[in-house]
Amino acid sequence: MVIFKFEPLYKVRPWGGTIIKKQFCRKINPKSNNIGESWEVVDRAEAQSVVNDGPMKGQSLRQIIQNNSNDIMGPNWNKNARFPILVKWLDCKERLSLQVHPPKEIAVQLGGQPKTENWYVANSNPNAGLFLGFKKNTEQKQFEKALKDGIVESLCHRTKSCIGDSILVESGRIHAIDKGNLILEIQQNSDTTYRVYDWDRVDENKKPRKLHIKESLQCINFNDVKPEIIRTNRTNKKRVIADCDNFRITKFNLKADSKFIIKHAKTECILLHLIEGSIKIDNTIIKDGEQVLSPYFSECKLTILKDSTFLVTDHFVNQQNLDSSLSN
């Protein structure tokens, strides 16, 4: 069996904290108290995952795909197409901005990229929450006035977040992650975000961060009311928690001393995300918080060393756009 693990890329954010470092026992350099994002799997011009072990250690995700596209991704894969999924840990010590991602047709008009993402809540404080959509159908003019008056929060639907929650944040959905959450974000390979409101926050120079109100207003679905949250726990052995045009995510809870075949060889490329526990694949130990890429040509058979909760992302190869552009 062959798997790939990658070196995380850490991003300092004004809303970040230290939970990624503490919960997953990671040595993070620089030693910052504001690590907001850990980019776990990424294939972009400005950021590349690098293999951290095995015969291809030191090679980027882009290199291994370009040099072994059929083995990694499957037959007929365009080797110049970006890996279609981006995976991040988000440590939300403070509230993130209120934002939206563009739907495909609008992204083209605005020169951005469409982005649908899924949040899995791995940890949360008792008062943690999420902003998702609106409390009720909202007129655009009503929303614009609320922005000017500084009362936009009163229109947005806020719900308590709990460990095990899964939320599909479709493009066009207004959203924000409130403080006190550790979230695994699995998304389309896009970095287009339009910030519509930042809670009057200022940066280290006492200046407000840039907003994208004009672009946001073109993207927001004002009829998106109280979207569904999937509440999960540790009782179900297997449950699909997200299924859209761009990917499918399945949650597994497996007991220690069991074996499980996630996929057979020459079926598809998948990602495995260990939330907690300990897993062995062949002779490689997978630790809490780690991501694994299992390529198309290889079987993926797990040995569960202790009770484990993990996610599997698949069905992204069949949906991939064979655009050969590497500009993003």
> In angstroms, rounded to a whole number, what is the distance separating the alpha carbons of residues 294 and 156?
39
| Centroid of chain to Cα 305 | 26
Residues 243 and 287 grouped into a single domain: yes
Is 195 considered catalytic here?
A: yes
Last residue of a domain, one of 177, 197, 231: 231
Residues 131 and 183 grouped into a single domain: yes
Residues 219 and 258 grouped into a single domain: no
What total of structural domains would you count in the chain? Answer: 2
Q: CA neighbours within 13 Å on the CB side: how many for 306?
A: 8
State residue 37's pLDDT score: 97
Beta bridge partners of 166: 120, 230
State residue 325's pLDDT score: 41
Please, are residues 103 and 219 in contact by the beta-carbon 8 Å criterion? yes
Which entry of 95, 195, 234, 239 is annotated as an active-site residue?
Answer: 195
Please, are residues 202 and 250 in contact by the beta-carbon 8 Å criterion? no
Report strand pairing: 248-254 vs 300-314. Answer: antiparallel
* pTM for this model (two decimals): 0.95
pLDDT along the chain (328 residues), means of 10: 96 94 89 91 97 95 97 94 97 97 95 96 97 97 96 97 97 98 98 95 84 97 97 93 97 96 97 98 96 98 98 84 44
7 by Cβ neighbours in 10 Å (0-12 / 13-18 / 19+) ranks as: middle
> In angstroms, rounded to a whole number, what is the distance separating the alpha carbons of residues 190 and 117?
10
State residue 275's pLDDT score: 98
Residue 113 lies in a domain: yes
- Helix and strand numbers (H, E) in the chain are 6, 23
